[in-house]
Structure 1
Amino acid sequence: MARRPYRVEVDYPKNKSPRYFLVRDVRVGNRKTKVKRYLCSGSTPPSLDDIEYYRKIYSYDLEIKAAKSAGKLGVGAYKTKYLSKDYVDAIEEIRYLYKRFTESLTVNELEQYEKYFEIQYIHGTTAIEGNTLSLGETEDLLLYGINPTSKKLREINEVQNFKNVKKYRDEYKGKVTVDFIKQLHALVMHNIDEQSAGTFRRADDIGIDGCNQLLCPSVEIKKELSKIISYYYKQIGEGYHPFEEAVMFHYFFEMIHPFSDGNGRVGREIFNYMLSKNNYPKLLFLGEVKEKFIRALKLGNNEKYVEMNEYFAEIIVIQRLDILRSRMKAYIDEPEKTGQLTLQSFITI
């Protein structure tokens, strides 16, 4: 485990002995603060052994204080149109805890987390679209190459394709672009609909289940996608909150509905990519969360963007906040390895 990047600060009160503090610096956007914990007083500063001892017993308290400070800094650091201050506070606390916790993991632990998160994510994002593979079948297929019995080839390919989606997404380091979106779609639809894979729809006589909104005309798709991409980065550059902007981009992407099939899977890929690029944990779309996700997008159809953003914010808070607080406590010092980590070590599902 990497040590927490703390420092020792000394205060010189008038007519009193020097006071020593363990300090954690916190930064969100262009704002910064610090949290500290009193160590000792006296003319002799604490030794390295003393500091290591204090670090072990005080680091959890400091990290929780720092996370709460990060939340409060975020409220002032970012502009919002729809997210409440309380949700910004919680989301920034989550970002801080997620970054600190993943830094505390060994390489093998982090790889294990990524592997099992991806299985849950792929299961959820395909199940929303009607894929009937169970979580166990999804895991067997992705990890061991075991094809499920009595399942359609299309369903197997829908899941299998995400191996290459993940590889491309992990290797890609740039901004979201039209070409990036088309390549994601090509990979999502491989061996499913090769003629339309990576190609914008050419028909206008399609709709979205449960949505009465008029979709973007096919001849306008590239222009409208370019417009929402530019708007997203403009808003980020002007200091609007990255989570809110990712939610809004996702909604407008789904309303453009650029492809004849696969829009939901591609849209959720882009959404989580945007979160990751801004150091937020990704979302899972399982169980009740799946229903919240669908209801949230329907709120957008009625321009209820505050409520829509709150639905998404509620998902990340439920999935991440409490579990990150508790796991931080468990892993703040090098843990005794008592067994394998599970995905539930990182996220509430």
Structure 2
Amino acid sequence: MNVKLLKSIEGKKRELDRLRPLPKAIVDKLREQFYLEWTYNSNAIEGNTLSLQETDLVLRQGITIGNKSLREHFEVINHKEGIDSIEKVIKKKTSLSLNLIREIHGIILKNIDDEEAGVFRRTNVRITGASHIPPSSAKVYNLIEELIQWYFHNYKKLSIPELAAWFHYKLVFIHPFIDGNGRTARLFMNLILMQEGYPPAVILHLDRKKYYRVLREADNGKTSGFLDFVGKSIERSLIIYLNSLKPDSSQNKQGYITLKEATKHCDYSLEYLSLLARTGKLSSVKFERNWMTTIQAIETYLDEVNLKKNK
């Protein structure tokens, strides 16, 4: 993970920890907001067509949405149950294990494909649109055991954001189940984060194409893009938490400004700054559809450009 990004994440995490104990009313509201957003986006990435509002209606009021499949409704209900199970794991301080992975996956596919729920795949598979061919089904059990061993071996060696991102990637790479691998991987990524006091990182449906692209790049050995992609999601969640807990802070969104505001601090157009943000050349974070950066990030980028010119 990019050193600057990791330092930014860890700095914001320390700031969040300094504010503990967090006000219960605010935390409850944030949890409700994040769990809805997490459920909607994680399902939407996999093709679920329920909107954010419809997802909310299914979860909070148990309403059946017309012209939507029963499967899509169960995907929403199951994902929220998966989050609830993760919270129980954290509360009980249950260790990460092979059986826990199967248990959480069993929840994800409950009433959707009960025969495959919580069961490692028994056939070889190919992932549509991906060059990576998942390992043979005969190797899955041992690979998951090795992944668990890897997790405990690296628990103290890697930063928590890196550990969570790597675990997500490695689980998806193994592709241990016929269906539901992405949702399960994102749940465990957040289990690792939340165990250490981080808010859950939500990978946005808007970033679906980039998400799949950095996963493909990682399959080809270029893992930095994926690690940074997850890191940006972690940072975004921390910023939302801090901004909610310190609404009167003179620093808008913890120092973040819009790209339009950023044009006042450089000679670049909004379109060019947007390109720099999308390509990862300018340190930035996406809030909904809008990219935001900092004055410091602009200055750092300008320094790097000038340094290259003077070489």
In the TM superposition, what are the counterparts of 1:157-306 in structure 2 within 5 Å? 157-172=74-89, 173-204=93-124, 206-237=125-156, 239-306=157-224
* Aligned equivalents of 1:254, 1:102: Cα separation in 2: 34
Residue deviations 1:29-70 (CA, integer Å, cap 9, x gap): xxxxxxxxxxxxxxxxxxxxxxxxxxxxxxxxxxxxxxxxxx
TM-score where L is the length of structure 2: 0.75
Q: Percent identity?
A: 28
Bigger helix share: 2
Residues 186, 198 of structure 1: 8 Å contact kept: yes
In the TM superposition, what are the counterparts of 1:1-349 in structure 2 within 5 Å? 83-101=1-19, 103-105=21-23, 107-172=24-89, 173-204=93-124, 206-237=125-156, 239-321=157-239, 323-324=240-241, 326-330=243-247, 348-349=287-288
Residue deviations 1:108-141 (CA, integer Å, cap 9, x gap): 3222211121111100000111000011110011
What is the count of residue pairs matched by the alignment? Answer: 249
After alignment, is 161-170 or 118-127 more displaced?
Answer: 161-170
Residues 141, 148 of structure 1: 8 Å contact kept: yes
Tell me, what secondary structure is at the counterpart of 1:103?
Answer: coil
Tell me, what secondary structure is at the counterpart of 1:214?
Answer: coil
**Greater Cα radius of gyration, structure 1 or 2:** 1
Residues 198, 238 of structure 2: 8 Å contact kept: no
Change (3 A) 1:292 1:98: farther
Q: CA deviation at 1:215?
A: 1.1
Unaligned ranges ≥5, structure 2: 250-285, 289-311
Residue deviations 1:275-322 (CA, integer Å, cap 9, x gap): 11122221112243333322221121111122221222223334533x
Tell me what 1:9 maps to: none
Tell me, what secondary structure is at the counterpart of 2:179?
Answer: coil
Residue deviations 1:45-98 (CA, integer Å, cap 9, x gap): xxxxxxxxxxxxxxxxxxxxxxxxxxxxxxxxxxxxxx2321221110121233
| C-alpha RMSD of matched pairs (Å) | 2.0
Residues 105, 117 of structure 2: 8 Å contact kept: yes
Q: CA deviation at 1:102?
A: 6.0
Residue deviations 1:120-165 (CA, integer Å, cap 9, x gap): 1100000111000011110011001111111111111111112321
Residues 215, 257 of structure 1: 8 Å contact kept: yes
Residues 98, 281 of structure 1: 8 Å contact kept: no
Bigger strand share: 1
* Aligned equivalents of 1:102, 1:121: Cα separation in 2: 23
* Aligned equivalents of 1:164, 1:330: Cα separation in 2: 31
* Aligned equivalents of 1:328, 1:153: Cα separation in 2: 38
Q: CA deviation at 1:325?
A: 5.0
Q: CA deviation at 1:101?
A: 4.6
Residues 101, 324 of structure 1: 8 Å contact kept: no
Residues 97, 328 of structure 1: 8 Å contact kept: no
Residue deviations 1:224-243 (CA, integer Å, cap 9, x gap): 01101111221123x22121
TM-score where L is the length of structure 1: 0.67
Unaligned ranges ≥5, structure 1: 1-82, 333-346
* Aligned equivalents of 1:122, 1:242: Cα separation in 2: 22
The one-letter amino acid paired with 1:330 is: P
